[in-house]
Amino acid sequence: MKLKDMPKIKARNPVALSPLLHKGGIHESEKPKAQHRKERKDTKKFLNKTAWL
């Protein structure tokens, strides 16, 4: 079984590292939609398992 490649870490814009802008660190490589996909999937699975009547 092949292991999935690790996600790439995006480099920050060097201008954004300015102390005046109060930014730094690494960017999150996932899009906001992808970040919450697992949470939405788990919620949907839980709701489908629930006996409503």
Which tokens hold the place of 41? 């999937």
pLDDT band at 27 (very low <50, low <70, confident <90, very high): low
Q: Is the distance from CB of 18 to CB of 38 less than 8 angstroms?
A: no
Q: Is the distance from CB of 30 to CB of 11 less than 8 angstroms?
A: no
The arithmetic mean of pLDDT across residues 40-51, rounded, is 89
pTM for this predicted structure: 0.36
Residue 28: name the closest of 4, 7, 5 by CA.
7
What ranges do the domains of the chain cover? 14-47
Give the end-to-end CA distance of the chain in Å, rounded to a whole number.
43
Tens-place pLDDT, residues 11-26: 777 776 666 766 555 5
